Amino acid sequence: MAQSGVLPVPGDVRAARSRTALRNTLISLLEQKPFEQVTIREIASKAKIGYATFFRHYPSKEALLNDLAAGQISGLTEVVLPLLHSADLKLTSRAMFEYVWAHKTLWTALLTGGAAGTVKTEFIRQMRQLAADEKPVDSWPPSDLRVAFSVAATLEILSWWLEQKEPASIEQMAETLDRLVLQPSLADVPRVGLLEKRPQAVKSAR
């Protein structure tokens, strides 16, 4: 079932190819200008898709951005989630920075090109969904507040890192995230049950 904001389209190869072209075109445009300056006509034209056809796949350019962000965050979650049960939370930090660096151009565009709000909202949504599937933990602060704070702080650190002319090493950033975010937020939270959890439980927009 399609996530809200992504219109159901017959599942043929052509439709899938069109959605991929639209996502790739948006990535390219975000590397050139802020999201607010991108228009649907521009996206459709560069993707070689008719203007009216765009709306068969997405009701708005915001829905397309949501789809793009959800896919990237799901990819990041797939890498990070299996490491959350590790006693060394720095392994989780390192894996996250390695993933983002491997997709540096896209993440830079997402976090510094006017789409950061969408990325933050989608990241929080996916992580809250994962937290909701866990057994309730009687702790303070509540888990949903931990998630919101951790995601906001993590994205702020990522954004700062990607904006630097001479970025710090992945190891340095892993240490920073671990000390500033993961240890204060997660060190005292039981992570039993995460071993059975899989990223597929998080519904992406694709």
Quick one: pLDDT at residue 194?
Answer: 41
Hey, where are the domains in the chain?
Answer: 13-63, 69-201
The DSSP-derived string for 156-171 is: HHHHHHHH-SSPPPHH
Q: Is 9 helix (H, G, I), strand (E, B) or coil?
A: coil
How far is residue 170's CA from residue 161's CA, in Å, rounded to a whole number? 10
Q: What is the mean pLDDT of residues 172-186?
A: 87
Q: Report the pLDDT value the prediction gives residue 52, as an integer from 0 to 100.
A: 94
DSSP, collapsed to helix, strand or coil, labels residue 11 as coil
- Residue 134: count other Cβ atoms within 10 Å of its Cβ: 15
47-57 burial by CB neighbour count: b if 16+ within 10 A, else e? bebeeeebebb
* Three-class SS of 24-56: HHHHHHHCCCCHHHCCHHHHHHHCCCCHHHHHH
Model confidence pLDDT, tens digit, residues 65-102: 889 888 888 888 888 776 666 667 788 889 899 999 99
13-27, 70-84, 99-113, 122-136, range with greatest mean pLDDT? 13-27
Token couple for 97: 């920075």
Q: Please list, in sequence order, all residues whose beta carbon lies within 8 angstroms of the beta carbon of residue 174, skipping any fewer than 6 positions away.
A: 90, 93, 94, 96, 97
Angle CA 83–86–87, to nearest 5: 150
Please name the residues in contact with 30: beta carbons below 8 A apart, sequence gap of 6 or more: 38, 106, 109, 110, 113, 115
Res 11: pLDDT: 58
Domain covering 13-63: architecture: Orthogonal Bundle (1.10)
> What gap in Å lies between CA 74 and CA 94, rounded to an integer?
17
